[in-house]
Amino acid sequence: MGHKVVVFDISVIRALWETRVKKHKAWQKKETERLEKSALEKIKEEWNFVAECRRKGIPQAAYCKNGFVDTSARLLEKIERNTFARQSSLSKERDKRRSPFVFELSGEQWTELPDSLKEQTHLQEWHITNTLIQIIPTYIELFQAMRILDLPKNQISCLPAEIGHLKNLKELNVSFNLLRSIPPELGDCENLEKLDCSGNLELTELPFELSNLKQVTFVDISANKFASVPICVLRMCNLQWLDISNNILNDLPQDIDRLEELQTFLLYKNKLTYLPYALLNLKKLTLLVVSGDHLVELPTALCDSSTPLKFVSLMDNPLDNTQCQDGVEVMESERDRQCFDKEFLKAYLEDVKERESVPSYTTKVSFSLQL
């Protein structure tokens, strides 16, 4: 008996499969439309968005509007852009550190600078931090190409007079050391643009010779013992940023308006009871940070909407002055607290400046006074 061969017309088979494909595509389209209209799909999208925000540390207030999740906020894209920008910045910083013109030193194992350093007079930058170094040697005058002297968080108790020979110096950072004075010879560094003496705790004055620093745009003398704004600072005609917070100021000088270029003025944690009307003459002042705890009077015109000024009121509660038998521990804890305060405020101010738009009710912060 032979085999039976079944023969089909190929056109019949093709028509069969085309019909099945059309039905499947129609079902897919209908299912897609159903999912788009489904509340479950929206809930799933919002849940994934919230989970991603939480994973990246974004606060709930940033993506919730009136109790509803706002997935259009594009916060994740902004976070990724900021992360990429930070990574690029760190990469550039690492490349800079590899430069043969940059010297970097850190770690508490260092109690003095290496002897070989005096032979590297071609260096343009010193970055020395978190060491136990107490003295900057006098041979620093040999570094005529020096542009940046970055010496924060060490144990430096004095600066040599020879620092005045660094004619090309643009930045000097001696914050959070043990300085009690600044050498008058620093006034000979006529190209200096940035001066940071914050966090030395016992610094009470700046020498009048610093009046010669006409290129300075940034001065930070916070967390010290200044009872008034130094005269030399009032003569820095190009000054744009002045931080004299965490001192013992009782008042501001009436000629504070000499600082015509001043844009940022940080005054918080002092003993000010009023703000002078001379502040109204600072036409470029855009940011004034004060602690309202002791204020009993301020010019009402400062709150005028026509002024470019933004008020930031920090209502501080003083910490208990708990005594400790070990004076070193008190000093260290005070320095750490001051350093933390500065880092916090820095982050806050950067956040304020990054805001694209600020509602009018947050642009001005009124002072409520209880007399």
Within the chain, residue ranges assigned H as helices are: 10-37, 39-55, 60-63, 75-97, 231-234, 327-354, 360-363
**Does 210 map to a domain?**
yes
- Domain boundary, last residue among 316, 337, 359: 316
**Does 353 map to a domain?**
no
Average pLDDT over residues 213-242: 96
**Does 126 map to a domain?**
yes
Q: Are residues 56 and 203 in the same domain?
A: no
**Does 87 map to a domain?**
no
d(CA 277, CA 254): 8
User: What average pLDDT does the chain have?
Assistant: 78
- Domain boundary, last residue among 316, 332, 361: 316
**Domains identified in the chain, total number:** 2
**Does 64 map to a domain?**
yes
Asked if residues 194 and 171 have their Cβ atoms less than 8 Å apart, the reply is yes
**Does 297 map to a domain?**
yes
pLDDT grade for 68, boundaries at 50, 70 and 90? low
pTM for the whole structure: 0.66
Q: Which residue has the tokens 């071609």?
A: 122
pLDDT grade for 228, boundaries at 50, 70 and 90? very high
Q: Are residues 67 and 124 in the same domain?
A: no
User: Is it the case that residue 137 has pLDDT exceeding 70?
Assistant: yes
Q: Are residues 52 and 190 in the same domain?
A: no
Please tell me the predicted confidence (pLDDT) of residue 217: 97
Q: Are residues 151 and 189 in the same domain?
A: yes
Please tell me the predicted confidence (pLDDT) of residue 240: 96
**Does 92 map to a domain?**
no
Q: Are residues 131 and 233 in the same domain?
A: yes
Mark 351-369 as b/e (b = at least 16 C-beta within 10 Å).
Answer: eeeeeeeeeeeeeeeebee
Q: Are residues 162 and 288 in the same domain?
A: yes
d(CA 278, CA 285): 12
Residue 219 CA, distance from chain mean position? 15
pLDDT grade for 98, boundaries at 50, 70 and 90? low
The lowest-confidence range among 28-42, 159-173, 309-323 is: 309-323
Please tell me the predicted confidence (pLDDT) of residue 371: 32
Closest by CA to 77, choosing from 47, 97, 56, is 56
Q: Are residues 131 and 46 in the same domain?
A: no
Q: Are residues 64 and 203 in the same domain?
A: no
d(CA 222, CA 247): 6
Q: Are residues 60 and 136 in the same domain?
A: no
Residue of higher predicted confidence among 319 and 34: 34
**Does 260 map to a domain?**
yes
Q: Are residues 43 and 156 in the same domain?
A: no
Domain housing 291: 99-316
Helix (H, G, I), strand (E, B) or coil at 263: coil
Residue 232 CB coordination number (10 Å): 21
Average pLDDT over residues 89-111: 77
Q: Are residues 67 and 143 in the same domain?
A: no
d(CA 111, CA 96): 25
- Domain boundary, last residue among 73, 89, 117: 73
Instruction: Write the CATH number for 176.
Output: 3.80.10.10
pLDDT digits (tens, 9 = 90+) for 154-200: 999 999 999 999 999 999 999 999 999 999 999 999 999 999 999 99
Q: Are residues 49 and 158 in the same domain?
A: no
